[in-house]
Amino acid sequence: MVIRFQERDGRRLFMRSYRNSKFYQPNKAFVLEKIIALVIYRISRFKYISLRLKYAGEIGDFSSFIFLHFGKVKLRLSREGIWRDIESQLQETVIFLEFGVASGYLTQWWLDPERLSLREIDFSYHGFDTFYGLPSQWRDFPVGTFSTDGLVPQINHDRLTFHVGLVENTFSDEFVRSINISSQLVIFFDLDLFEPTRFVYERIRALLSIGDVIYFDEARDKDEREILQEYVMRDFEVKPISASYSNIALLVTSKLINH
Ligand SMILES: C[S@@+](CC[C@H](N)C(=O)[O-])C[C@H]1O[C@@H](n2cnc3c(N)ncnc32)[C@H](O)[C@@H]1O
């Protein structure tokens, strides 16, 4: 709530100071805007270019969201860079929860035997997926995208458990009750879709505490962004660990009063 007011005030303040500045020339700004709009209109006839422009707009929006809410944030060019930053935040006992595993790239990265950070800690790793891909369309991706035909990734690790099925069934009350809340939680949200992500968040929010890590793999997209902005940020104060053009990792720093 508070953040929204700040955001609005921030925008108003910026407009006011821009209009009062010597750079503000209404007529020129208007002409320039028209030229840019015309160029965009022309080149957007090509699907490839219009998609690129759409993504560029989303990246711009994501970056301005980060800047407005958190100020300057460590920028990484890849999600692996963000995961490395998460490594430096790990505590002695950690429960990793990965929602949306697909072929297990992220899981494999973390459970790589060479990963030194995990050698020094006590941890368990839980991956949740149907392994039949997206249950409904998301963006331009049809139902079934990311499917492995039900095959669970071949990752042999004694601390790893896969929970196969819809999270709405597998992330059960029983499982939630079994989570040891004195452990640090490191949560990877990568279900892409709004509904299952909200389902998981609503279940896990009561267990979250200071020092836990929440990672959104598609924070640039409206679905995960809404969970971050309208759910997580209303319940907790969070500090970005780092971000890329699409992903963000956050550290829970306090619970807000309405939680
Ligand atoms: C983008 S992929 C995950 C990629 C993986 N985290 C990685 O980085 O390698 C998204 C996955 O979410 C899974 N998924 C989406 N909705 C789900 C639901 N309601 N229950 C279980 N899995 C779901 C899909 O099956 C898909 O494999």
Distance in Å, CA 5 to ligand 1 centroid: 35
Measure the CA–CA gap between 35 and 52, rounded to whole angstroms.
19
Ligand 1 pocket, residue 133 CB under 6 Å:
yes
Q: What is the dihedral of CA 58, 61, 64, 70, to 10 degrees?
A: -80
Residue 123: the pLDDT is 96
Distance in Å, CA 226 to ligand 1 centroid: 18
Total Cβ atoms within 10 A of residue 40: 12
Q: Does domain 79-255 have CATH number 3.40.50.150?
A: yes
Residue 3: the pLDDT is 40
Residue 37: the pLDDT is 86
Please give the chain's pLDDT, 259 residues, in tens: 334 444 455 555 555 565 667 666 667 778 888 888 888 888 888 888 888 888 888 999 999 999 999 999 999 999 999 999 999 999 999 999 999 999 999 999 999 988 988 888 999 999 999 999 999 999 989 999 999 999 999 999 999 999 999 999 999 999 999 999 899 999 999 999 999 999 999 999 999 999 999 999 999 999 999 999 999 999 999 999 999 999 999 999 999 976 5
Q: Which pTM was predicted?
A: 0.86
Distance in Å, CA 53 to ligand 1 centroid: 26
Closest ligand 1 atom to the C-alpha of 132?
25
Whose alpha carbon is nearest atom 13 of ligand 1?
Answer: 100
Residue 23: the pLDDT is 67
Ligand 1 pocket, residue 82 CB under 6 Å:
no
Ligand 1 pocket, residue 153 CB under 6 Å:
no
Whose alpha carbon is nearest atom 8 of ligand 1?
Answer: 106
Residue 5: the pLDDT is 42
Residue 46: the pLDDT is 84
- Sketch the domain layout of the chain as residue ranges: 2-70, 79-255
Ligand 1 pocket, residue 248 CB under 6 Å:
no
Whose alpha carbon is nearest atom 22 of ligand 1?
Answer: 129
Closest ligand 1 atom to the C-alpha of 196?
19
The CA-based angle 7-218-48, given to 5 degrees, is 100
